[in-house]
Amino acid sequence: MQKATKTILILVVILIIAAGAVFVLSNKKSATNVAPEQNNEENNQNTETNNEKPQVPTDFTEINLGDKTKNQVIFTFDGGAGTQSLQPILDTLKKYGIKGTFFITGRWAENNVELVKKISEAGHEIFNHTYSHPHLTQLTEEQLIEELNKTEQIISAITGKTTKPYFRPPFGERDSRVLAAAEKAGYRSVYWTIDALDWRESEGYTAAQSEERVLNNLKPGTIYIMHIGDNITGQILDELFAKIINSGFSINSLSAGI
């Protein structure tokens, strides 16, 4: 009797061990079946995200200097207010056979359609300067992207050319968040090396001071910023170009000089 009881206990233990093994194997199989489905869902989400991402340049490092290995400088002209200096700028660029670079706001383009056509038809570059010239660091990502997209639509409709891949932040105001949002829209920020301060004309800044500032900072790769909506640029640009060229420098567009 004692022997039979012992045998029964052994059988019970064996059955318990066997049942536990079956339970473990069953759970393992279930986990194995679930995992690939979760991974596939993640992969699908990643694929959708990649497909939605716009095709844009891979280098979004901000530009504030051109190629320093050559004796060349870059002149850029911002348009967002008046038009006083535009014709002298165009005349000077034509006189010296130089392709210019313009950063234009969408609102300025709307108000000066024929002038935008004139700039483009002369072979000059037109890039994005936002629509309303706002303080970008105060906008949401959605508002910032809308500023860029709206300007792109307006200018490309006038010229038949995109404003991508470059934009200039109004007032020079930008931070990492602004640059990241612009990147999403397909744009790379272009700052400047030297501000000619022509825009300070109303504060008493003179044409002579602006010219001196440009020439005193004449170095390979310098990117100058000047403006369409002041009188100073139109007054000094021809003489500036002559002096810069006589100093052994060439003057390039942004695309050719970076």
Domain with residue 200: its CATH number is 3.20.20.370
Rounded-to-integer distance, Cα 98 and Cα 257, Å: 12
User: Half-sphere exposure of residue 207, counting CA atoms within 13 Å on the CB side?
Assistant: 12
- Collapsed DSSP state (helix, strand, coil) of residue 155: helix
The region that residue 54 occupies, defined by phi over 0 for left and psi between -120 and 50 for alpha, beta otherwise, is beta
Check residue 60 and give its pLDDT: 75
Helix ranges restricted to H, 53-137: 86-96, 106-111, 113-121
Residue 59 lies in a domain: no
Cβ atoms of residues 77 and 195 within 8 Å: no
Residue 61 lies in a domain: no
Check residue 84 and give its pLDDT: 97
Q: Give the tokens for residue 105.
A: 């706001």
Rounded-to-integer distance, Cα 110 and Cα 131, Å: 10
Residue 67 lies in a domain: no
Residue 64 lies in a domain: no
Check residue 254 and give its pLDDT: 98
Number of domains the chain contains = 2
User: Half-sphere exposure of residue 202, counting CA atoms within 13 Å on the CB side?
Assistant: 3
Pair 152, 39 in one domain:
no
Pair 35, 92 in one domain:
no
Pair 103, 174 in one domain:
yes
pTM score of the predicted model: 0.77
Pair 147, 237 in one domain:
yes
Pair 101, 34 in one domain:
no
Q: Which amino acid is located at 119 in the chain?
A: I
User: Radius of gyration (Cα) for the chain, nearest Å?
Assistant: 32
Residue 63 lies in a domain: no
Pair 236, 205 in one domain:
yes
Segments in the chain below pLDDT 50: 1-5, 7-9, 11-13, 15-57
The region that residue 41 occupies, defined by phi over 0 for left and psi between -120 and 50 for alpha, beta otherwise, is alpha
Pair 89, 117 in one domain:
yes
For Cα atoms 152, 154, 155, give the angle at the middle one, nearest 5 degrees.
Answer: 70
Domain of residue 195 covers 72-257
Pair 81, 49 in one domain:
no
DSSP designation for 242: H
Pair 48, 159 in one domain:
no
Pair 42, 127 in one domain:
no
Pair 123, 227 in one domain:
yes
Residue 66 lies in a domain: no
Residue 62 lies in a domain: no
Pair 243, 168 in one domain:
yes
